[in-house]
């Protein structure tokens, strides 16, 4: 929550809140992250915005409303709010009262096929970029996953590269072409603390996997996934992945992922 040590810390970073392709134009959706509810909507021009969950008038949930032009209109009495949270229309009220009505709004950006929000105090920092994922390639934002456990259970697992080759043996064998002996071929995992978190490298069989845990809740990994089609000696194919795990509340978390 916003008044906890962990909540205050996470709010110093941009957080992923939705997959871009899942939010259609002129649609509003309820979102919950870090123990708080918000409204996410996409205007007719395609701009995504995050505002408070409730209308200032009668506390109606705004995601039930309609997106008209660049504003979100409350379903109950028609009050309309723009992306800054400013009320821009109130039927039956004078203009001065309308101008004095405003709800909370939050900086919103789209990057790597995801919608990001900043929920901390003051001006947001610059949105962190990932140059490896800005280069040419097939960029895929994978389906969002919700899990019924505390996010720290998953973050503890996120830095544990060794479990991948046993817990996820079937999928790693399918992706990499390493057979059933993959577990026996795993080499020594080398890890070190880095300025941004933890950096690890693990050889398994003829392949290598590289893991980066980026504070506060991001995993970046790169691994060979077999060889490209072609003559003997064809180059190996690589896949780079980004994963973020963020708390929905203390008992649930959400996972966003991007593959190149």
pLDDT tens for each residue of 26-60: 999 999 999 999 999 999 999 999 999 999 999 99
Cα torsion angle, 27, 33, 37, 38, sign: negative
Instruction: Single out the residue of 54, 31, 28 nearest to residue 43, CA to CA.
Output: 28
Q: What pLDDT, on the 0 to 100 scale, is given for residue 204?
A: 62
Q: What pLDDT, on the 0 to 100 scale, is given for residue 162?
A: 78
Q: What pLDDT, on the 0 to 100 scale, is given for residue 170?
A: 80
Residue carrying structure tokens 């994978």: 142
Q: What tokens does 218 get?
A: 């991001």
Residue carrying structure tokens 């009050």: 79
Strands of the chain, DSSP E:
15-19, 27-33, 36-42, 48-51, 66-68, 71-73, 80-81, 87-89, 105-106, 108-111, 114-117, 140-147, 190-194, 197-204, 207-214, 218-227, 236-249, 252-259
Q: What pLDDT, on the 0 to 100 scale, is given for residue 86?
A: 98
pTM above 0.85, yes or no: yes
For the chain, first and last CA: distance in Å? 33
Which residues of the chain are under the pLDDT cut of 70? 172-186, 204-207, 224-236
Q: What pLDDT, on the 0 to 100 scale, is given for residue 236?
A: 67
Q: What pLDDT, on the 0 to 100 scale, is given for residue 128?
A: 92
């Amino acid at each position: 929550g916003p008044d906890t040590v962990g909540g205050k810390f996470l709010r110093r970073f941009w957080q992923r809140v939705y997959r871009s392709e899942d939010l259609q134009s002129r649609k509003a959706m309820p979102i919950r992250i870090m123990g708080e509810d918000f409204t996410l909507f996409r205007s007719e021009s395609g701009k995504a915005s995050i505002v408070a969950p409730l209308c200032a008038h009668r506390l109606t949930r705004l995601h039930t409303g309609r997106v008209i032009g660049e504003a979100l209109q409350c379903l109950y009495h028609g009050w309309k709010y723009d992306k800054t949270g400013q009320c821009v229309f109130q039927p039956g009220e004078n203009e001065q009262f309308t101008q004095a009505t405003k709800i909370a709004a939050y900086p919103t950006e789209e990057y790597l096929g995801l919608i990001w929000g900043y929920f901390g105090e003051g001006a947001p920092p610059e949105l962190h970029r990932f140059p490896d994922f800005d280069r040419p390639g097939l960029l895929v934002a994978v389906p969002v996953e919700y899990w019924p456990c505390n996010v720290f259970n998953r973050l503890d697992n996120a830095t544990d590269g060794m479990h991948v080759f046993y817990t996820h043996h079937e999928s790693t064998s399918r992706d990499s072409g390493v057979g059933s002996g993959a577990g026996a071929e795993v080499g020594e995992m080398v890890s070190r603390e880095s300025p941004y978190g933890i950096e690890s490298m693990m050889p398994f069989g003829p392949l290598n996997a590289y893991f980066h845990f980026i504070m506060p809740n991001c995993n970046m990994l790169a691994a060979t996934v077999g060889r490209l089609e072609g003559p003997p000696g064809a180059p190996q194919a690589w896949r780079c992945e980004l994963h973020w795990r963020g708390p929905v509340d203390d008992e649930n978390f959400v996972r966003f992922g991007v593959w190149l």
